[in-house]
Amino acid sequence: MAHVSIIGTGSMGSAIAEVVGRGGNTVELLGSGDGATPVTGDVVVLAVPYGAVADIVARRAEQLAGKVVVDITNPVDFATFDSLVVPADGSATAEIAAALPGSRVVKAFNTTFAATLTAGTVGGEPTTVLIAGDDAEAKAALAGIVTAGGLRAVDAGSLRRARELEALGFLQISLAAGEKIAWTGGFAVVP
């Protein structure tokens, strides 16, 4: 049994909480502005927009030491909607990992819209959570939580693949914003 802390109570935080609970694991849901409540989970999901991550990381770095920290952000430049705000050869996940050297940082959930997490399917396929990171045990722990919750989990590779996951997330958001796909659709992973 895993205990998961989710920081952020928006649509993604709520959807991830539902997936975790569905698998019989326990959830602690914290508001993004809550700086006082300690995180008790072994796995901590930062379910907040990219712009809110740095402050949480700065305030909670000590608490997050040793834990699996899950970055779900898509660092889209919402002013131009034409690029990401992280360096072209980097990722939000790489920045977070650098800021939390004592944590086991992975990328996940940024390529699945909230609606497909709660539905459990996208089109005719099970919703697939792509996970990238350098810590194999951390990825396996998260994959176990995801599959217990009825979704598919796929190891997408090392932390460097977070860059491609963020490109995929950005593309998916831009397609939905441009009404080429619905927010209930997106990229399905066909095995």
Residues lying near a second copy in the complex (CB under 8 A): 82-83, 87-89, 122-125, 154-158, 160-161, 163-165, 167-168, 170-171, 174-175, 178, 180-182, 185-191
Angstrom distance (rounded) from CA 133 to CA 184: 27
Which residues neighbour 82 within 8 Å (Cβ) at sequence distance 6 or greater? none
Report in angstroms how near the CB of residue 134 gets to a second copy at its nearest: 12
Cα(first)–Cα(last) distance of the chain, in Å?
Answer: 28
For residue 26, give both structure tokens. Answer: 């326990």
Q: Which is nearer to a second copy, 105 or 143 (CB)?
A: 143
- In the complex, minimum distance from the CB of residue 37 to a second copy, in angstroms, rounded to a whole number: 36
Q: Give the whole-angstrom CA distance, residue 25 versus residue 148.
A: 8
Min separation Cβ 114 and a second copy, Å: 15
Instruction: Report the residue number, 144 or 157, with the smaller CB distance to a second copy.
Output: 157
Query: Which helix (H) or strand (E) segment is 1 a member of?
Result: none
Task: Tell me the C-alpha distance between 7 and 4, whole Å.
Answer: 10
Pairing of strands 43-46, 68-71: parallel
Q: From the CB of 39, what's the least distance to a second copy, in Å?
A: 31
Task: Pick between residue 48 and residue 131 the one whose CB is nearest to a second copy.
Answer: 131
Handedness of CA 173, 179, 182, 186 (dihedral sign): negative
- Closer by beta carbon to a second copy, 5 or else 91: 91
CA distance 26 to 114: 19
CB nearer to a second copy: pick between 40 and 83: 83
Query: How near is the Cβ of 124 to a second copy at its closest, in Å?
Result: 3
How far apart CA 100 and CA 59 sit, in angstroms, is: 11
In angstroms, give the least distance from the CB of 56 to a second copy. 27
